[in-house]
Amino acid sequence: MVNKVYKVNDSDKNNNGSKHNQILMSIIVCIPVLSYGTAMGWISPHKAVLMGPDPPSSQAATEEEVSWMASVIFISAPVAVFACGAAADRYGRRAALLAASVPVVLGWAIKLISSQPRSLIAARALIGFGSGGSYVVCPLYVKEISEDSIRGMTGTFIIFSQTVGNLLVFILGDLLPYNTVLWILLAIPLLHFGIMTRLPETPSYLIKCGKNEETAKVLSWLRSLPPDHCSIRAEVERLQVEQTSCQPKFSPRLLFADKTAVKAFWVALTVNLTREFCGCIAVLVYASHIFTAAGRDQATSSALSPNKQSIMLAAVQIIGSFVACQLVDRAGRKPLLAVTSVVAGFSMCLLGVWFYLSSRSVFLPGWVPIVALCTAIFADASGLQPLPFVIMTEMFSFQLRGTVATLIMAISLATDFALLKLFAPLNSWIGYHWTFWLFSAICLSNVFYLIFCVPETKMRSLEDIYADLEGRGKKKGNKVEDSGA
């Protein structure tokens, strides 16, 4: 397959190669995350339809059933994280990603067959299973096909794909009939499955399987250089050395036996959990509901409908993700993450102030919550969401990368479930203002944690990163030597 599909012209022997194929393949690999974005955002434009007087099923869904639809994705996802994480190390990244697409296809198909609330909950559990698996495998796949100089940018494609999915489903849900939207969303994972059958395995995994010649051919296509180019030979030799010293396997015991790796794990986990508790996931899932609550007072409401405001929110998220792609390899992981945490924190605080004053019948313009939410989502998409994935893959060797990604994603997805399930009851109990102030406090506290506890990982070797964690001094700016392809 590689001989037929992935060719490099002999005229390229004297050039420096190109990164175009790495970027293209990273985009294709992240399509399952786009499907996850459509699934996560599907509730927002369709909640009114499911609970309305003319639902697609024989009975309207209740608030409790809709909350289960929104959160059940994050019950099944952690199970898939362990299954796909182990499969990725045993059977390969591509095989695991193909397997993860199957339950996503089945989930959208079930939604087309039956719109009963119980069927929708079961369907979304299947979609969550596939999405959880893809969220583990996609960062590994992208990391292992990307050169060091662009791995930050390609790493942000994970969240960029999710934001595209959010925007797509918001627009489709606002413009098209219920079943038409489902047909389109079913076509996306089917298309991805067909394309992935023609794409190769990652070079790191091919080396593990002893396929040195095929590794050189895949690398030559990814780098746009001939297989006998000196840089390709050097990269193959480096991968062989890495594979000789360590074989990847899902082994928490191996991870926790290394004290420095454990420190790195807790740093990566904390950064990822902050991403969940910043509140932006709950905002996106319940975007229309929040805008409806914000616009109950007609004197302060916006002229845009809640669905239109949700579309605007998703568009802002796309812009933020694009900014992240441009800045992550220039500004560095740590500064960009700190700045976006500050911006998201103050935006959530402003949103809490707006809801608090509204509850006291104090007039504020209706555009205030829109601006606050858009700013928070922009900050989230340009730093808080994508950078934890980049940091997570850069802080561990090829041997531990799958184990760490599996554990962190399982915990993060379980956290998402708890957050989404408790979001509505929490608002009823303490009010929207206290909920958003809590999100704000978490974002702002994260800044201090980043400054004092998180090492910079941009273009640095594991030895230098771990030296920071152990307090043995900081060796900044050294090129990564142990990152793996």
Whether 233 maps to a domain, the answer reads: no
Question: What mean pLDDT is predicted for residues 229-252?
Answer: 74
Q: Predicted confidence band at 295 (pLDDT cuts at 50, 70, 90)?
A: low
The span from the CA of 199 to the CA of 222, in Å, is 11
Residue 250 has pLDDT above 70, yes or no: no
Residue 177, SS3 per DSSP = coil
Q: Looking up tokens 């900081």, which residue turns up?
A: 474
DSSP secondary structure letters along 436-485 = HHHHHHHHHHHHHHHHHHPPP-TT--HHHHHHHHTTS---TTPPPSS---
- CATH number for the domain including 294? 1.20.1250.20
According to DSSP H, which parts of 31-115 are helical? 31-41, 43-51, 63-71, 73-91, 93-113
The span from the CA of 396 to the CA of 258, in Å, is 11
Q: What's the token pair of residue 205?
A: 């995994």
Q: Which is more confidently placed, 473 or 464?
A: 464
pLDDT of residue 293: 61
Please enumerate, as own/partner, the contacts of 458-462 that have beta carbons within 8 Å and a separation of 24 or more: 458/152, 458/329, 458/332, 458/333, 459/148, 459/149, 460/394, 462/395, 462/396, 462/397
- How far from 478 is each of 39, 260, 338, 481, CA to CA, in Å? 40, 19, 22, 9
Q: Predicted confidence band at 290 (pLDDT cuts at 50, 70, 90)?
A: low
DSSP secondary structure letters along 289-335 = HHHHHHTSSTTT--SS-HHHHHHHHHHHHHHHHHHHHHHHHHH-HHH
Contacts of residue 213, defined as CB under 8 A and 6 or more positions apart, other chains included, come to none
pLDDT of residue 185: 94
Residue 477 has pLDDT above 50, yes or no: no
Residue 378 has pLDDT above 60, yes or no: yes
Whether 205 maps to a domain, the answer reads: no
- How far from 318 is each of 75, 168, 324, 393, CA to CA, in Å? 27, 11, 10, 23
Whether 332 maps to a domain, the answer reads: yes
Q: Looking up tokens 């406090």, which residue turns up?
A: 441
pLDDT of residue 286: 65
Residue 430 has pLDDT above 50, yes or no: yes
Dihedral (CA of 458, 461, 465, 471) sign: negative
Lowest mean pLDDT among 3-12, 313-322, 420-429: 3-12
Share of the chain above pLDDT 90, in %: 15
pLDDT of residue 123: 94
Q: Which is more confidently placed, 137 or 327?
A: 137
Residue 301 has pLDDT above 70, yes or no: no
Whether 58 maps to a domain, the answer reads: yes
- What's the DSSP call for residue 382? I
The domain tally of the chain equals 1
Question: What mean pLDDT is predicted for residues 153-175?
Answer: 85
- Range(s) of the domain holding residue 456: 19-199+246-469
Mean pLDDT, the chain, rounded, equals 81
Whether 283 maps to a domain, the answer reads: yes
pLDDT of residue 112: 92
**Measuring CA to CA, which residue among 383, 387, 389, 384 is closest to residue 323?**
383
Whether 480 maps to a domain, the answer reads: no
Whether 232 maps to a domain, the answer reads: no
pLDDT of residue 15: 60
Q: Looking up tokens 């313009």, which residue turns up?
A: 365
Q: Are 108 and 192 in contact (CB under 8 A)?
A: no
Question: What mean pLDDT is predicted for residues 212-233?
Answer: 86
Whether 299 maps to a domain, the answer reads: yes
Q: Predicted confidence band at 168 (pLDDT cuts at 50, 70, 90)?
A: very high
Share of the chain above pLDDT 70, in %: 86
* Chain centre to alpha carbon of residue 393: 13
Question: What mean pLDDT is predicted for residues 124-142?
Answer: 87
pTM metric for this prediction: 0.72
Q: Are 463 and 443 in contact (CB under 8 A)?
A: no
Q: Are 99 and 259 in contact (CB under 8 A)?
A: no
pLDDT of residue 284: 66
Q: Are 120 and 101 in contact (CB under 8 A)?
A: no
Lowest mean pLDDT among 63-72, 168-177, 431-440, 473-482: 473-482
Residues counted in the chain: 485
Within 10 Å of residue 101's Cβ, how many Cβ atoms? 23
pLDDT of residue 152: 75
